[in-house]
Amino acid sequence: MIETRTATQGWKVGSATITSVVEDQQDGPPGLLFPEATEAIIRRHPWLVPDWADAEGNIALRVQAFVVEIDGLTVLVDPCVGNGKARWLPAWNELDLPFLERFADAGFTPAAVELVVHTHLHADHVGWDTHREGDEWVPTFTAARHLYTAAELEFVREFLLPGEDVYGDSVGPIFDAGLADVIDPDADLGHGLRLESTPGHTPGHTSLWIESDGEHALITGDFMHHPLQFAEPQLAEIADSDVEVARATRARMLAEMARTGALVLGTHFPSRPAGRVIVDGAAWRFVAE
């Protein structure tokens, strides 16, 4: 078992603050997430234990959103699975989890969110954008602009899993309410926020760079899923839509993360999701902060 922490965790980047709000964290054998990974591969990298893996070779995956407070702006990145949504994956189906309570405990209110950034539109990155009122899905962050890339809007309508309608319950209502903006995957958002196109996991995937007072941070989204991929960057994740493009993105971004010394926040990294990337022989290693 890997310890699940749901208490608020936060980090400073210059005068900006980044806070993790956890929806859920579960552990299991690495092959569930990375088809080519085995428990033996995990045990080759003892630095993964105890925060990201256990001694038996299991790994954990967290679903969390990051809140960035910068330059007077409150930004929410990748608002998780959401409650009450019909989802193909049993672990995400019809959830009833206290995400909004944890969001409030961390000091935030939905009405104060001004910007919602989506690294991509998989079901676990858009869920809390809407909640159910009667028979309808209505926006949760009613004062926020919600950002989408055109390639992701196309992909979310193509990538259909049985019994679920991510566009219908989590994206369409935002457009209907006039709260959506379509942006470039490399858009400069101002306020020290800049997107960088990181395709492969999905075609229009983007990651968020944060700069404040000369310090830098990166919110990865799903171009990486677990610190194991610092040591084994060739490992494809089960949902990567283009494995080769995803590998090329990881190679490019790993070099960039190590070169800049940025604080890296892994969207699905469990337990201790923030740290720095250092070179470790022919690969890399993650050092938590």
What are the residues binding Zn ion (CB under 5 A)?
122, 124, 222
Distance of closest approach, residue 214 Cβ to Zn ion, in angstroms? 31
Q: How far apart are CA 183 and CA 47, in angstroms?
A: 38
End-to-end CA distance of the chain: 21
CB of 63 to Zn ion, least distance (A): 7
Select 124 or 164, whichever has its Cβ closest to Zn ion: 124
Q: Which is nearer to Zn ion, 16 or 95 (CB)?
A: 95
* Helix, strand or coil, per DSSP, at residue 148: strand
Q: Which is nearer to Zn ion, 9 or 267 (CB)?
A: 267
Residue 175 CA, chain-centre distance (Å), reads 22
Is the distance from CB of 70 to CB of 87 less than 8 angstroms? no
Contact status, residue 241 vs residue 45, Cβ threshold 8 Å: no
CB of 124 or CB of 169, closer to Zn ion:
124
285 neighbors 47 (Cβ within 8 angstroms): yes
Complex with Zn ion: residue 61 or 258, whichever CB lies closer: 61
For Zn ion, which is the closer residue by CB, 208 or 258?
208
Q: Which is nearer to Zn ion, 152 or 232 (CB)?
A: 152
Q: Minimum Å distance from CB 267 to Zn ion?
A: 6
Minimum Å distance from CB 125 to Zn ion? 6
Residue 133: Cβ-neighbour burial (10 angstroms; 0-12, 13-18, 19+): exposed
Q: If DSSP codes are grouped into helix, strand and coil, which group holds residue 8? A: coil
Residue number of the CB atom closest to Zn ion? 122
Question: CB of residue 31 vs Zn ion: minimum separation in angstroms?
Answer: 18
Of 57 and 79, nearer to Zn ion (C-beta) is 79
* Distance in Å, CB of 289 to Zn ion, minimum: 22
Instruction: Look up tokens 């893996």; give the residue.
Output: 53
Q: What's the min distance (Å) between Cβ of 123 and Zn ion? A: 8
Both structure tokens of 153: 């809007």
Q: How far is the CB of 275 from Zn ion (least distance, A)?
A: 19
**Based on C-alpha coordinates, what's the Rg of the chain?**
18
Sort 229 into a burial class: Cβ within 10 Å, 0-12 / 13-18 / 19+.
buried
Angle at 180 between CA 87 and CA 171, to 5 degrees: 10
| Spatial CA neighbour of 20 closest among 35, 5, 10 | 10
